[in-house]
Amino acid sequence: MLPQSDRSRRIAGGTALAIALAVPAEGLRQWAYYDPPGILTVCMGHTGQDVQKGVKYSLAQCDEWLTEDMRKAVEMVERCAPGLPEPVLGAFSDAVFNLGPKIACNPVASHAARYLAMGKIEAACNELPKWNRATVAGVSVPLPGLTIRRAKEQKLCLEGITQ
């Protein structure tokens, strides 16, 4: 196990990398909107019961939600696959932020999670592009924005195995 200072530094670095991926992918919308799968979303990808249609949210609130949501995603990845290099942690944390924990934490439903659990990081990174689909009007379709995002995550992730 890493000393706490190394772990804290790695988690902080992974969080910063994940946020750097998420912000341009999500964009900023201060009014709630429905994303392509129909989920009420606001700010930079925030979803949940606290999102209300017709309410304008402040930049401070958006920043707070992004920080908290990403912190939760990073902690989830760290619990499921402890000790990942910062770029790998950042890439999978952005994916968890965007898709939920299955991609990194459910080895039954995700080859990526299975590879992470086995320590096969390169194979896990190469699974990321496969997660570019969303259900729209009851049909699973690839979304261009998800395809671009997963490619950026994969690139960052693979950089983590060369360190």
The predicted pLDDT at position 5 comes to 81
CB 93 within 8 A of CB 70: yes
Q: Domain holding 81: CATH number?
A: 1.10.530.40
Distance of CA 120 to the CA centre of its chain: 19
Please count the structural domains in the chain: 1
The predicted pLDDT at position 130 comes to 98
CB 21 within 8 A of CB 91: yes
Domain that holds residue 150: 4-160
Distances (CA, A) of 103 to 17, 92, 112, 129: 18, 8, 6, 11
CB 4 within 8 A of CB 79: no
What average pLDDT values come out for the chain (163 residues) when binned by 10 residues?
76 96 96 91 95 95 97 97 96 97 98 97 98 91 96 97 74
Query: Which letter does DSSP use for residue 129 in this model?
Result: G
Q: Residues, the chain, total?
A: 163
Q: CB-based burial of residue 163 (10 Å sphere; 0-12 exposed, 13-18 middle, 19+ buried)?
A: exposed
The predicted pLDDT at position 163 comes to 58
The predicted pLDDT at position 3 comes to 60
The predicted pLDDT at position 7 comes to 87
Q: CB-based burial of residue 156 (10 Å sphere; 0-12 exposed, 13-18 middle, 19+ buried)?
A: buried
The predicted pLDDT at position 2 comes to 52
E strands within the chain? 29-34, 40-43, 46-47, 133-136, 139-142
Q: How far apart are CA 101 and CA 96, in angstroms?
A: 5
Q: Which residues are catalytic?
A: 26, 35
